[in-house]
Amino acid sequence: MEKAVDTYLNFQNKVKKLSGNTVSSYRRDLYAFAVYLQEKSISYKKVKKTDIYEYISQLQHKGKSQATVARVVASIRNFYHYLCMSGNMKKDPSSGISAPKIEKKLPGILTLSEVDRLLSQPSGTSYKERRDKAMLELLYATGIRVSELIELTVDNLDMDNYVIMFIENGKQRIVPFGNQAHKALELYFESSPYHSEPGISLFTNLYGKKLTRQGFWKIIKHYKVMAAIKKDITPQMLRHSFAAHLMDNGIDNSSLQELMGYSAIASVKKYEELSGKRIVDIYKKVHPRA
């Protein structure tokens, strides 16, 4: 079987142009399967569905994770599909065999109390603390991605109407924010020497350069320690918390998906009917810090 595996891997590497890591994973999985078949005195061309199921069961009994078992099943199926496609076998014994479902971990979220503690940490009057406060408040107030946060310019903000305006694929996306984020932004503007020109990054480092993802990550880690929060907080966790807290307060799925900028959902007609004003009205009713 090893020779057939090597021929298959060579095909995947040179013809399919799969990555080295993927080919290495296939090799490990198929060589291990070959050892199993050898121990059972089964030719790889005489394998039956029951043999594959028994191998899967053995992996599960050994405590292999669902993700690992799913990958092994995929490796075996791809191998036998290749053998049939290349004319080396007439019948695919792996046909119809499905991998075990991989349980998706629920995203970690912060409680309202933890959010309050985290957002209250930058409380000074320096440029840095006011900037940090504005960033944290805005991220939780809007649920935008950290990549969107650091790419914001002054032009994206409509302070009079309490909204951020994005243009995506020629369409406008409106994301509201509440009073506390608005107040934090106003205080930040008072101390920032960099925000007055159009097109300038909204959030900058101490040298007036656009803040990086890594820079913002360090900011969150710093205030997490100050707030004595044991959870491993990430920027994505604030986005998840935004969504979870709005759902707790009764927001409908379509409005939430519009606010969070899920493009696949936004393409559905019923979501296109959500006007900017309707989104703002819904937001004011459900956001804890609106």
Residue 158 pairs in a beta bridge with 163
- Quote the tokens at residue 284: 């004011």
Cα maximum dimension of the chain: 78
CB 156 within 8 A of CB 166: yes
**Catalytic one among 44, 80, 162, 283?**
283
CB 204 within 8 A of CB 194: yes
Alpha helix locations (H) across 124-252?
Answer: 127-142, 146-151, 179-191, 213-226, 235-248
C-alpha–C-alpha distance, residues 219 and 223, integer Å: 6
> Given the structure tokens 């969070």, which residue do they identify?
260
Alpha helix locations (H) across 86-175?
Answer: 112-119, 127-142, 146-151
Q: Is 162 a catalytic residue?
A: no
DSSP state of 58: H
CB 73 within 8 A of CB 30: no
Give the residue among 88, 96, 86, 20 at the shortest CA–CA distance from 53. 96
Q: Is 117 a catalytic residue?
A: no
CA 236 to chain centre: 7
Please provide the distance, in angstroms rounded to a whole number, between the alpha carbons at the two ends of the chain: 64
Give the residue among 168, 187, 190, 191 at the shortest CA–CA distance from 179. 187
**Catalytic one among 55, 131, 239, 278?**
239
User: How open is the CA angle 142-148-152, to the nearest 5 degrees?
Assistant: 95
Residues with catalytic annotation? 239, 283
